[in-house]
Structures are given as structure tokens and as C-alpha cells.
Amino acid sequence: MFAQTPNPPYTAVIFTSCLSDDIEGYDIAAAEMVRLAQEQEGYLGIESAREKIGITVSYWCDESCAKEWKQNVDHALVQRIGAERWYRQYRVRIAIVTRDY
């Protein structure tokens, strides 16, 4: 299902990744991060797909709310585990959405 976002502008955090061979605990952590993000101030929604490459886009009312999510203590811990173990490669991009149709 697509995220129900408001009229622009708003912020999109685009997380693109390739998983490593060691993904034990990944699915549980990913589900928990979605749950925590939903409780974070400024959260608007999330869309995610995974095949060979995973792409997750989270939407925030503004860049400061997206930055607060990045700095969330539980999220920061999972980011470290991901970088050390779950992801072979990843990239984060921050964008301001100016049109949505």
C-alpha cells in the first residue's frame, strides 16, 4: 500500500540496500523500526520493496523530523548492526518532495 502523504512539501528518506549473507534477526529488527518510526514526531508513512535490491522510503513532515528519526537511540543501534552485519552495501538519500501526483 502507498503511504498517504499530505500535499508537498515534505521530506523523503530513501534507503537503498543489498543484504549480506548474514541476515539473522533482520526481519524482526526491520518490523520494529517501522513500529518505532510510526511513533516518531513528524512521521507521515513508509513504502518498502525488496528483491535483489531493497528500497525503503520513509516520509517526514520536514527535514528536522527526519533527522530526529536518524538520531533515535534504538534506530541508531539498528543502523550500526545493519552496517556491520546485515548490509553488503547501502545508501541513504534525503529529498524534499515538491510534487506528488
* d(C-alpha 52, C-alpha 49), whole Å: 10
**Domains defined along the chain, listed by start:** 10-97 (3.30.70.100)
Per-residue pLDDT of the chain (101 residues; tens, 9 = 90+): 899 999 999 999 999 999 999 999 999 999 999 999 999 999 999 999 999 999 999 999 999 999 999 999 999 999 999 999 999 999 999 999 999 99
In sequence order, the 6+-apart residues with CB closer than 8 A to the CB of 66 are 11, 13, 42, 58, 60, 94
Examine residue 6 and say whether the peptide bond preceding it is cis (omega within 30 degrees of 0): no
At residue 1, the pLDDT reads: 85
* d(C-alpha 100, C-alpha 81), whole Å: 34
At residue 28, the pLDDT reads: 97
Phi, psi of 63 (to 5 degrees): -65, -35
Q: How many helices (H) and strands (E) does the chain have?
A: 3, 4
Which helix (H) or strand (E) covers residue 97, if one does? strand 87-97
Q: How many residues does the chain have?
A: 101
At residue 79, the pLDDT reads: 96
